Copies of this chain bind each other. A is one copy, B any other.
């Protein structure tokens, strides 16, 4: 804990200060915008950006992670709370903090129990599909705020302001960096300017709103921000622990996935080591801190952490400086924050979220593995059609389903001898010789409950097409593990083959697998032998006979 502080070097300070300032300036509009996505008053987004990064700095392991509100997690928060309380009500705010509390407690518990492996319940294509679906949902949710009225209606001044903001943000994203560099601005400053474009657009729109009194024209603004730091929030609704549990589990899962993918990308760039279980503790503590601030679930964000990193952050001190600046913004006179036009905030959300759309995974999966590409599209469609919560469950089901489906089609090769050598190869790929009474099968997969029936079925099939078989040799060189279900399978095959007077032999069993099998009844009851090599098995069983029988 705070190891980075003990080894803090003075030369790290400049980077941390500049990153702290840049991220704070980015955080104000982003935090307020994502609070709106979650159905909360904009100030909640600032509350969610003060204590949570402090908690993360205490417990997390990433040096450059920036913890706070994040688009998808805010979308999920809104989806979870919508059926439970009217948006804007005080119950809604209590429930948002309670959701952060439960999510945080779950993340902490997972960290303590070292359940970091749970992140592996989503495959990469499924995560990509989930993100694409969620991005579309978020954009769809911002159409009405952008137009200032419910689509297909619009409110002229709001729509003009919203579309103008959108145009400026898109232009800044596409060309501002190149333009500034051409004007002689250094690459670092040009990059920072691009990152701060949303802040500048929001300031511009706020100034416009003030000058022309756009509020009087009906352009909605963020409204007055309660002055001062967030009060300690300990409120909870006792009737809502149960209905919040499942959404909190799904949100905690996505918090973890999102944060880990951001942290890992950056840790790789800096060649740092992350401790996945301490990351869980950091995220759990952050969400508890968010709950205490009366805010909502938070996570590490890829886009914001990348800004933190490229603006020079060396340690979590950068995040502490960001937090301090945001706290300062709440205590100084900040009447201007009340004038932020919502159409402009909607535009910043749309542009930020479109940046999350990343089609390279789909493209690659489409070329490499159509089934993975189909899973990606199914995950996107699931989110779009059934919502973001169902989307998480669909994503897990798709990931697991793909795994089980692949496992149910194990690769099994019939082996034959190459000439008179000691080498045995797949008879479908090599001109290898088989013996009429010895069937040699190489199982190219770890044996476990997901494939044991399929392997058993395949063995039966091969035996049916080779009725003269008296010995079955299973070559286990590629079998990395044998679970309890598969052990039962082996014992059943053994018994069944014994009834049919066919020997069951194992060859090339790996050390760790053999160590485990010795703890079972299998070696004692095996109706055959365990051979070190396939050649030794065939020499012993075939008695050198009939090597002239050539298959294929």
Partner-B contacts on A (CB < 8 A):
117-125, 264, 268, 271, 273, 361, 364-365, 367-369, 372-373, 399-408, 411, 426, 429, 444-446, 448-451, 453-454, 460-461, 464, 477-478, 480-481, 483-485, 487-488, 492, 496, 500, 510-512, 516, 519-521
User: How far, in whole Å, are A511 and B488 apart by their CA atoms in the complex?
Assistant: 30
Q: Which of B120, B407, B485 contacts A404 (CB 8 A)?
A: B120
Residues from chain B with a CB closer than 8 A to the CB of A480 are 411, 444-445, 478
Contacts of A411 in B (CB 8 A): 480-481, 512
The CA of A118 and the CA of B402, in the complex, are separated in Å by: 10
Residues of B within 8 Å of A367, CB to CB, are 519-520
User: Can you list 29 pairs linking A and B with CB atoms under 8 Å apart?
Assistant: A117-B404, A117-B408, A117-B454, A118-B404, A120-B407, A120-B453, A123-B448, A123-B483, A124-B485, A124-B488, A264-B453, A273-B464, A364-B521, A365-B484, A367-B519, A368-B519, A369-B484, A369-B487, A372-B484, A399-B449, A400-B400, A403-B449, A406-B481, A406-B483, A411-B481, A411-B512, A444-B480, A477-B478, A478-B478
Chain B contacts of A516 at CB under 8 A? 368-369
Chain B residues contacting A369 (CB-CB under 8 Å) are 483-484, 487, 516
> Does B446 lie within 8 Å of A445, measured CB to CB?
yes
Q: Beyond A268-B496, A406-B448, A444-B480: 8 further Cβ-contacts under 8 Å?
A: A121-B404, A125-B485, A364-B521, A368-B519, A372-B485, A373-B484, A403-B403, A411-B480
Residues of chain B with a CB closer than 8 A to A408's CB: 117, 120
The 7 closest A-B CB pairs, nearest first, are A124-B485, A123-B449, A117-B408, A372-B484, A444-B480, A365-B484, A120-B450
Quick check: A451 and B519 within 8 Å, CB to CB? Answer: no
Docked pose: A403 CA to B120 CA in angstroms: 10
* Cβ distance A125 to chain B, nearest Cβ, rounded Å: 5
Expressed in whole angstroms, the minimum distance between the Cβ of A137 and any Cβ of chain B is 22
* Min CB–CB distance A169 → chain B (angstroms): 30
Complex Cα gap A268–B460 (Å): 10
Q: Please report the C-alpha to C-alpha distance between residue A114 and residue B481 in the assembled complex, in whole angstroms.
A: 28
Is B484's CB under 8 angstroms from A123's CB? yes
Do the beta carbons of B519 and A449 come within 8 Å of each other? no
Whether the Cβ atoms of A453 and B119 lie closer than 8 Å is yes
Q: Which residues of B contact A372 (CB under 8 A)?
A: 483-485
For A365, list chain B residues within 8 Å (CB).
484
Is A364 within 8 A of B487, CB to CB? Answer: yes
B123 & A488 in contact (Cβ 8 Å cutoff) = no
Which residues of chain B have C-beta atoms less than 8 A from A401's C-beta?
118
Asked if A400 and B121 sit within 8 Å, CB to CB, the answer is: yes
Instruction: Assess the A364–B403 pair: CB atoms within 8 A.
Output: no
Residues from chain B with Cβ under 8 Å of A496 in the complex: 268
Which B residues lie within 8 Å of A399 (CB)?
A: 449
Nearest-CB residue, chain B, relative to A488:
B124
- In the complex, chain B residues whose CB is within 8 Å of the CB of A460: 273
Please, which residues of chain B bring their CB within 8 A of the CB of A487? 364, 368-369
Shortest beta-carbon distance, A201 to chain B, in Å?
Answer: 34
- Give, as a whole number of angstroms, the nearest-CB distance from A485 to chain B: 4
How far apart are the CA atoms of A454 and B116 in the complex, in Å?
11
Question: B residues within 8 A CB of A264?
Answer: 453
Q: Which of B124, B445, B454, B477 contacts A449 (CB 8 A)?
A: B124
Residues on B with C-beta less than 8 A from A483 are 123, 369, 372, 402, 406
In the assembled complex, the Cα of A361 lies from the Cα of B484 at a distance in Å of 9
A213 to chain B, nearest CB (A): 51
Asked if A488 meets B361 with Cβ closer than 8 Å, knowing A368-B516, A445-B446, A478-B478, the reply is yes
Asked whether, in the complex, the Cβ of A450 is within 8 Å of the Cβ of B404, the reply is no
Do B451 and A120 have beta carbons less than 8 Å apart?
yes
A492 & B449 in contact (Cβ 8 Å cutoff):
no
**Using Cβ atoms and an 8 Å threshold, which residues of chain B touch A426?**
511
Residues in B neighbouring A361, C-beta threshold 8 A: 484, 488
What distance in Å separates the Cβ of A471 from its nearest Cβ neighbour in chain B? Answer: 18
